[in-house]
Amino acid sequence: MKTWMRILAGATALVIGAGAVAPVAAQQPNTQFIGITGYRVGPYGANGAAFFGGFIDYLNLVNERDGGVNGVKLSWEECETEYNNAKGVECYERLKTRAGTGPTAIHPMSTGITYALMEKAPTDKIPLITFGYGRTDATDGRVFPWVFPLMSNYWDAATGIVKFIGDKEGGDAKLKGKKIALLYHDSAYGKEPIPVLEAEATKLGFELKTIPVPHPGNEQQSQWLQIRQYKPDWVILWGWGVMTATALQTAQKTGYPREKMVGNWWAGSEIDTVAAGPAATGYYAASLNLAGKSYPVTKDVESIVYKKANKGSKAELVGTVLWNRGVAAAMFTVEAVRTAQAKFGKKPLTGEQVRWGIENLDLNAAKLKSLGFDTMLPPLKLSCEDHGGSGQVRFQQWDGKEWKSASDWMKGDTVLVRKMIEESAAKYATEKGIKAGCLPG
Amino acid sequence: MLYREAGQFRTSYAADQQLLPIRQDRILMAVLLAVAFVGVPLFASDYWLTALLTPFLVFALAALGLNILTGYAGQLSLGTAAFMAVGAFAAYNFQLRVPGMPILGSFVLGGLTAAVVGVAFGLPSLRIKGFYLAVATLAAQFFIPWLLVKVPWFTNNSSSGVITSQPIVILGYVFDTPGSKYLLVLAIVALMALAAKNLVRSRIGRAWMAVRDMDVAAEVIGIRIMRTKLIAFAVSSFYCGVAGALYAYAYLGSVEPDGFNLDLSFRILFMIIIGGVGSILGSFLGAAFITLLPIFLDVLLVDGALALGLNLPSGATSMVQLVVFGALIIFFLIVEPHGLARLWQIGKEKLRLWPFPY
Amino acid sequence: MQFFFEVLIGGLLAGVMYSLVALGFVLIYKASGVFNFAQGAMVFFAALTFVGVQEKTGLPFWAVLPITLAVMVLLGILTERIVLRPLVNQPQITLFMATIGLAFFIEGLAQLIWGTEVRRLDLGIQDEPIAVMMDNFDMMVSSFDVTAAVVAGVLVAVLAVFFNKTRIGRALRAVADDHQAALAVGIPLKQIWAIVWSVAGFVALVAGLLWGARNGVQFALTFVALKALPVLILGGFESILGAIVGGLIIGAAEKLAEVYLGPMVGGGIEGWFAYMLALLFLLVRPEGLFGERRIDRV
């Protein structure tokens, strides 16, 4: 018995060694292959499941409804990163080997993985799309030609939140002498808004107190007691994962009004508010995209992908903030391919060609409407200098059941943000010896 | 038949003491080294080199470090990743702040810094034993990344806390291709493994084992417990520190303190448990197993589902992977608690008698 | 001063929540010498099963509780049968690693069955400041925390009665004292272990419900184990009383440190402070506050 088990164990070990040697995936030729580095397990698995669910649902929609992009079908493979940098790199390397054209464009969906891939992308000629995360100064495309922090970055969010608070107080001038606390996840991600908020504090004359929450943030008694003692007029919540729900819950416990709390877009999904229950009611969050199912594209996904083709990922997720964000992210990739096809021809394109497509992406209001994204997203136009393309945010408020729009699309202090981005990018360029400039089309 | 040492006589102490006393072993090792140094760089694809072999070697080195501490000196540690972080960040800072610092010098200094930190966190081991010590080493695991995040100097004031490693240049040659990085890591790991193999046979190695087996008895026969334990912490942390530096420089290219988390420490602990506690070979086998297993499961489940035409609900593969990973760990522990190295040893015993066992 | 007491009370109540998780570790370690790292996963599994069953069947709280408990008992028995029994007499570290493997297994299984979505668990207890305390002393004490503390107190009392007054309890203590001797006098070791794992499953369920009601039922529940570890080393691995006292000390000290020392060094020190405190404490008493002192003989 024991011997046989031993042999079995040895054999298993050998098979694992040999099996990992020969990764071959079934690939359809002549398709635009899209590599997906996703995560559905671990502490952020719920976030990943919603985002990548929407992402894949939209890819399915393009295939089922339009027969691909100008006749070029899409194919994809998802690799589980567990939100772990090392595994993310392995996934990226694996997806790189697939198909002749490479993985099109990667959405790392993790700031850590973004950083790890940023050095590799230029050599491999694979563009990275970081939709609302990643390295903020990569918005300067002259220094970071291969990275696209699409739409708005963290500094846009931070200044946007300050603007929103100013509006609520009745104008930026009223911010003078006010107290704002920043409650942040104590990590690279959480520290991102501090410099820009400090600059805003000096400029507008409000007082800023930064309070870190150690990972994972499932106990915040002491942080909220500090807030209770400080008595800020507003609390900006820069949370991720369980931290957001706990913050809302502890705010209720310490009697801090949720109507005075503004989160960023990673602290503003149903995942956070549902977990917090009634404690979340009244809480604001900056958003990159609106929630809801009323958009034509959502209706298409429901009728074509879910009903007709029965390929939907999970019906409960449809219309949630992160699902919509996944749909939008997939749409960016698809439209970048379409833009690039106009120049390079209607065939599967390489990463280099798609990069050109992203950089020349122009999603004006009419285009968004024709795609069925009417009001979900603001118009977006990229250029070599500006790899973001919009810089706008919109605020939503949780009414206890769903996210409701609470403002129009708005911009923060774009001048300040741009100045800081260029300074930071220039510093990076000198450190790395990069000669800033646009890549030729 | 093939693997029999009959007729191989040792006529000198040197021959008796050599690392691989059996000729077949020497041949096997020579072939293995030839394949690793020549064959692999010639034939392996970039995916293999960057995503499998380089991390395998880096993890093997870290596992070696932990094995010295846990396997040989018997001090259970859950802070391996923290010591790797110290190595990585120290190497980065030496390279950044000391002009003209050779990269290998940075690696060594990174390792030495980790050794110093390791000794500091090893001090409680003089009083605390077993699981109390294991949980106490978690203090290092949580404190060090916190410190690296909090003091901007360590990350050269990077607002995000992420450091990007400098290019690896040795004597004017730039190691920037997957193949060259692999070779560099391989050379370092091979040298350090050789050193470890010899170290554990030396006086200090035997002292470690005496302390591991029974510290009171070791003390009675005149082994200085404090010195022995602290040396184990220092050497182990040195190995982990160098592994951390390689992890940053040759594997990922950019690291953040949060990347060196408890999960990584557990992964490395898994490697030595599955590979074999108290075995140099085991560190390598375990590292290979734990590095390859998730990839294998991923490939198997994704491709397997495709081949069978199954439409698994998205996300289910990730969960199944986790379940199978956990189950396999338990299975291996039950079947062979002494690890793959022991399995290999049993195999060799059988091979000696094959095809005529008693 | 009033703020100091507020922090102190908040910390003590938070500490009770840590103790709840630590109790599960203590039970298993006491009876079988296994450092069960899967306790965090069990907390997650219990809470997720509870919410999942509630969602699927729509049954009331009191009906779902026994169902979940049955699942936890089953899990405990299977763990004993499949994982621990074949590993009898292995070194502690091997058993420890096996429980980490078990943790992966349980986490994967739980999410495979119930999905990864974050769920709300409503116990009907408001997590709001108690008005009386607020009005009279301007002190913020949460009604939820007080309830949790009462639950923990009842749980400890029940466990104490169970251990001291029942037949099984006496057998348990005998096993904890000396496996061999217990076996020799005819105590069925395997059954006892299965019972201990089931009781640990029950404790995990209670902890899961309370933590889940507060943070939402999600994967991050597994992290509560990390909060319990310093409590364990401080209190001693074998002592139920130690888990409670350790929890109170850790909770209060960590909150006070974060509020008063944190701002001086940039904050966020809670993550490691508890471990450092426990470590310093161990230097004085290497077996924890109430742990069993071992005497080494050659």
Domain boundaries of chain C, sorted by first residue: 2-284
**What is the rounded average pLDDT of the residues B239-262?**
92
Question: Per residue in A265-289, is it b (16+ CB within 10 Å) or e — as a string?
Answer: bbbbbbbbbbbbbbbbbbbbbbbbb
Tell me which chain B residue has its CA closest to the CA of residue C274: B139
Tally of domains within chain B: 1
pLDDT at position A254 over 90: no
In a domain, B136, yes or no: yes
Please list the residues that pair with A77 across neighbouring strands: A35
Out of B128, B129, B142, the one facing C271 most closely (by C-beta) is B142
Which chain A residue has its CA at the smallest distance from B158's CA?
A188
Tell me whether strands A234-238 and B254-255 are parallel, antiparallel or unpaired: unpaired
Closest partner CB to A86 (pick from B55, B292, B293): B55
A79 touches B at CB < 8 Å: yes
Q: What was the pLDDT predicted at A397? A: 96
User: Chains touching chain B at 3 or more Cβ pairs under 8 angstroms?
Assistant: A, C
CA of B248: which chain A residue's CA is closest? A116
Pick C270's closest partner by Cβ from A214, A225, A277. A214
Q: Contacts of residue C106 in chain B, CB cutoff 8 Å?
A: 326
Burial class (CB in 10 A: 0-12, 13-18, 19+), B308: exposed
Chain A neighbours among B 272-331 (CB < 8 Å)? 285, 288-289, 292-296, 298-300, 302-303, 306-307, 311, 313-315, 317-319, 321-322, 328, 331
Range of lowest pLDDT (A28-32, A35-39, B12-16, B67-71): A28-32
Name every residue whose Cβ is closer than 8 Å to that of residue C174 and which is 6 or more positions away in sequence. C181, C182, C185, C187
Which residues in C lie closer than 8 A to residue B324 (C-beta atoms)? 108
Q: Which residues of chain C have pLDDT under 50?
A: none
Tokens for B178, please give them.
């997957």
Band (pLDDT 50/70/90 cuts) for residue A185 is very high
- Say which of C116, C120, C267 has its CB closest to residue A45: C116
Among A66-70, A146-150, A206-210, C290-294, which is the least confidently predicted range? C290-294
**Interval C30-61: pLDDT, tens:** 888 888 999 999 999 999 999 999 989 988 88
Place of tokens 């046989």: A4
The rounded mean pLDDT for chain B is 90
Region for residue A277 given its phi and psi (left: phi exceeds 0; alpha: psi -120 to 50; beta: otherwise): left
Does any domain span residue B354? no
Residue B117 has pLDDT above 80, yes or no: yes
Residue of chain B whose Cα is closest to the Cα of A23: B299
Chains contacting C (3 or more CB pairs within 8 Å):
A, B
Residue C142 contacts A where some CB pair is shorter than 8 Å: yes
Rg of chain B on CA atoms, in Å: 21
CB within 8 Å: B334 and C278: no
- pLDDT tens readout for residues A79-118: 888 888 888 998 998 888 876 778 889 999 988 899 889 8
| More confident of the two residues C132 and A356 | A356
pLDDT band at B190 (very low <50, low <70, confident <90, very high): very high
Interval A255-272 mean pLDDT? 93
Domains (ranges, CATH) in chain A?
32-152+292-392+420-432 (3.40.50.2300), 156-287 (3.40.50.2300)
Interface predicted TM-score (ipTM) of this complex, two decimals: 0.89
Phi-psi region of A292 (alpha: psi -120 to 50; beta: other; left: phi over 0): left
Answer yes or no: is B4 within a domain.
Answer: no
pLDDT for residue A19:
64
Residue B319, in any domain of the structure: no
pLDDT at site B251: 92
Smallest Cβ distance to A222: which of C117, C119, C270?
Answer: C270
A contact chains, 3+ CB pairs < 8 A: B, C
pLDDT at site A1? 57
Q: Determine whether the interchain pair B315/A40 forms a contact, defined as Cβ–Cβ distance below 8 Å.
A: yes
Decide if pLDDT at A231 tops 70. yes
pLDDT at residue A28, as a whole number: 65
CA atoms of B234 and B87, how far apart (whole Å): 12
Look at residues A429, A407, A430 and name the one whose alpha carbon lies nearest to residue A161. A407
Q: How many CA atoms lie within 13 A of B331 on its CB side?
A: 16
Residue A251 has pLDDT above 90, yes or no: yes
pTM score of the predicted model: 0.92
Tokens 């949630």 found at: A320
**CATH 3.30.70 for the C2-284 domain, yes or no:** no
Contacts of residue B155 in chain A, CB cutoff 8 Å? Answer: none
Which range of residues forms the domain containing residue B83?
21-259
Which of the four pLDDT bands, split at 50, 70 and 90, describes residue A441? low
Examine the pLDDT at A220 and tell me if it is beyond 80: yes
Give the residue from chain B lying closest to A1, CA to CA.
B335
Mutate to test the interface with C, among B330, B335, B336 (most CBs of C within 10 A): B330
- Please tell me the distance in Å from B59's CA to the nearest CA on chain A: 11
Query: pLDDT tens digits for A143-166?
Result: 999 999 999 999 999 999 999 999
Question: What is the mean pLDDT of the segment spanning B188-201?
Answer: 96
Q: Do B322 and C91 touch (CB under 8 A)?
A: no
Nearest to C193 by CA among C28, C48, C70: C28
